[in-house]
Structure 1
Amino acid sequence: MRYFRLLIICILVLNSCKKKSDETLKSTEEVEEVNYVSFGKSIIADDAIAAKSMAQHYKSMPVGDSINSKMTAKVTDVCQAKGCWMTLDLEDGSEVMVKFKDYGFFVPKDIKGKEVIINGKAFVNEVPVDEQRHYAEDAGKSKEEIALIIEPKKTFSFEADGVLVVQ
C-alpha cells in the first residue's frame, strides 16, 4: 500500500511538470522572430533603448556633449538623393537627425515609417542655416519652405556606425 501511494505521488509530480513544460513550449513558439536588414557595422538588436527614453537623455545633454548609445525608433524622413541621412521620431514631439559614420554607408530611400535600430554616438548639435537648407533641399522641400530657414537650430543628432531596418 505504501509503495502504491508513492507511485501515485510520483506520477502526479511528473505529470504536473510535463504540463508546465508544454505551456512553456507553446509560449516560446508564439514569440515572433523579427528579421532585419543590416547597414554599416554589424550590430545586434539586444539592449536598444526606446525612443522615448532617448528623448529624456537628449533633453539633459548640453550642446557638444555626446554619449554612446543604441536606440530603436521609427523613421520619419530619409534623404531622397542618396539615403545619406534620416530623421527618427523620439515619441515626444521631437526628432533626431541621423548621419552615418565617415559617410561610409547609406540606407534605402524607401524606409520612411519603418522601425530601425541604430548604434553609435548621440549628441546635441547646433546646425547652421546653410546645412539646414541643404537637408531641406534633400528632403524635397519647396523653395518657399527653404527660404524660411534663417537662423541656426539646436538639434538632437546621432552618428550611426550601424543600422538595422526591420523587415
Structure 2
Amino acid sequence: MNKLLLTCLAASLLFSCNQTDKVTQSASGIKNETTSAEKQTFGAAFTEENVINTSALQELAQGKDSVEAVVSAEIVESCQSKGCWMDVKLADKSTMKVTFRDYGFFLPVEDLKGRKIIFKGTAKREVISVEDQRHYAKDAGKPENEIAAITAPKEELRFVADGVILK
C-alpha cells in the first residue's frame, strides 16, 4: 500500500510542473512544441533577440525581395480549419498573412484573436491569386457572399515563419 501511495505521489509531482515539451512527427519532419504558463513555442526554437514590431518590418522590407526577421505582433485572425496560418496586425491597420515553413507545424485551432506572438522567418511581397484569397477566406469561416466578392489578385507583404512563440 505504501509503495502505491509513493508511486502516486511521484507521478503527481512529475505532472505538476508548469512546463512540458512535446515532440511529434508531422508530414514534413519533427515538430517541437513547448508549453509553459506564459507561452507556447511551435516549429524551430529561437531566442527572443533583435525583435522588431510590424511597423519596423514594413520599413525594412521596402524595396527588398525578402527580409529575415524576428517580429512581434498581435493576431487578428487564424485558420480555424487546421491552424496553418494567421493574420497579424500591421501598423497601418491592415494585416499580414503568416504561414509556416513547409507546413512543418501548426497553431492550435482556437480563437487566437488578440494574442501576442513572436515569430522568426522571412518576409516578402507576393501577389495573391483570387483562388488563394478565397481559400483563406473559407478557412477563416467567412460567409459565401464575402468569399464570392473576392474577384481580383492583390499584392501584399507575406511572412513564412520557421518558429513561433505564442504568448
Normalised to the residue count of structure 1, the TM-score between the two structures is 0.74
Query: Partner residue of 1:157?
Result: 158
Query: Partner residue of 2:73?
Result: 73
Query: How many angstroms does 1:149 deviate by?
Result: 0.5
Between 1:40-49 and 1:133-142, the stretch displaced more is 40-49
Query: How many angstroms does 1:36 deviate by?
Result: 2.1
Gaps of 5+ in 2: 1-36
Between 1:47-56 and 1:139-148, the stretch displaced more is 47-56
Cα separation, 2, equivalents of 1:156 and 1:77: 16
**By percentage of residues, which structure has more helix?**
1
**By percentage of residues, which structure has more strand?**
2
* CA contact 1:77–1:88 (8 Å) conserved in 2: yes
* CA contact 2:60–2:67 (8 Å) conserved in 1: no
Q: Which has the higher contact order (CA 8 A, sep 6+)?
A: 1
- After TM superposition, the structure 1 = structure 2 runs for residues 17-166 of structure 1, keeping only pairs within 5 Å, are 35-58=38-61, 60-61=62-63, 65-110=65-110, 111-166=112-167
Superimposed CA distance per residue, residues 70-115 of structure 1 (whole angstroms, 9 cap, x where no aligned partner): 1000000000001000010012222110000010000113322100
* CA contact 2:51–2:72 (8 Å) conserved in 1: yes
DSSP-derived class of the 2:102 partner: helix
DSSP-derived class of the 2:49 partner: coil
Query: Partner residue of 2:4?
Result: none
* CA contact 1:61–1:123 (8 Å) conserved in 2: no
Query: How many angstroms does 1:47 deviate by?
Result: 1.3
Cα separation, 2, equivalents of 1:146 and 1:35: 36
Gaps of 5+ in 1: 1-33
DSSP-derived class of the 1:93 partner: coil
Query: How many angstroms does 1:57 deviate by?
Result: 2.7
* CA contact 1:54–1:90 (8 Å) conserved in 2: no
Q: Which amino acid aligns with 1:37?
A: Q
- Root-mean-square deviation over aligned CA pairs: 1.4
Q: Which amino acid aligns with 1:49?
A: I
Q: Say how many residue pairs are matched.
A: 130
* CA contact 2:119–2:161 (8 Å) conserved in 1: yes
Structure with max Cα Rg: 1
Cα separation, 2, equivalents of 1:61 and 1:35: 36
Aligned-pair identity in percent equals 38
Cα separation, 2, equivalents of 1:73 and 1:150: 29
